[in-house]
A and B are shown apart, each in its own frame.
Chain A
Amino acid sequence: MNGRRNFLRGLLTVLLSGGAVGRVLDLLPSRALAREAPTKGKWYGFGVSVDKCIGCARCMDACKTENDVPREPFFVRTWVERYIIRKNGQTTVKTIVPNEEAAPEGALDKSILRSFFVPKLCNQCVNPPCVQVCPVGATFQTDDGVVLVNPNTCIGCRYCIQACPYGARYLHPVTRTADKCTFCYHRISQGLLPACVEVCPTQARIFGDLNAVASPMSRFQRMNKIHVLKPGLNTEPKVYYAGLDGEVR
Chain B
Amino acid sequence: MLKLPEKIPDALARLLIVFLALIGLGAFVVVVLIPKPMKDVRLQWASDIQREQAKPLHYAGFRVCEECHDTIYATKNAGYHRDLSCETCHGPARAHAEDPDKTKPVIPATRTFCPQCHSYNPSRPRGFPMINPVAHNPLKPCVTCHNPHDPKPPTTPKECSACHGEIARMKAVSHHVQLDCTTCHQVPQQHRISPRIVKPSKPQSRDFCGQCHAKDGKNKLAAGAPKIDMSAHGEKYVCWQCHYPHSPEVEQ
Interface of A toward B, CB cutoff 8 Å? 51-58, 62, 65-67, 82-84, 99, 101-102, 104, 106-107, 112, 115-117, 137, 140, 142, 148, 150-153, 182, 185-187, 189-190, 192-193, 195, 198-203
Contacts and interface: CB of A to CB of B under 8 A. Distances in A.
B53 interface: yes
B58 A52 contact: no
B96 to A, nearest CB: 14
Given A99-B116, A193-B61, 9 more contacts: A56-B116, A102-B123, A150-B44, A186-B57, A187-B61, A190-B53, A192-B57, A199-B87, A201-B81
Given A99-B116, A152-B44, A187 B125 contact: no
A82 B58 CA distance: 28
CB-based closest 8 A-B pairs: A150-B48, A186-B55, A115-B123, A137-B41, A56-B117, A199-B88, A102-B121, A192-B61
Interface residues of B, number: 38
A242 to B, nearest CB: 13
Interface in B141-155: none
B45 A58 contact: no
A229 to B, nearest CB: 19
A199 B119 contact: no
19 contacts: A55-B124, A56-B116, A58-B116, A66-B57, A99-B116, A101-B112, A101-B119, A104-B122, A117-B124, A140-B45, A148-B45, A151-B48, A152-B44, A182-B52, A186-B55, A190-B57, A192-B61, A193-B61, A203-B83
A65 B122 contact: no
A33 B48 CA distance: 18
B86 to A, nearest CB: 10
B152 to A, nearest CB: 16
A62 B92 CA distance: 8
Contacts of A57: 116
B119 A102 contact: yes
A148 B52 contact: yes
B121 A104 contact: yes
Interface of B: 41, 44-45, 48-49, 52-59, 61-62, 81, 83-85, 87-88, 91-92, 112, 115-117, 119-125, 128, 132-133, 169
Contacts of A187: 57, 59, 61
Nearest to A140: B45
A116 B123 contact: yes
A201 B79 CA distance: 13
Contact of B92 (A65, A104, A151): A65
A66 B95 CA distance: 12
A106 B122 contact: yes
B173 to A, nearest CB: 8
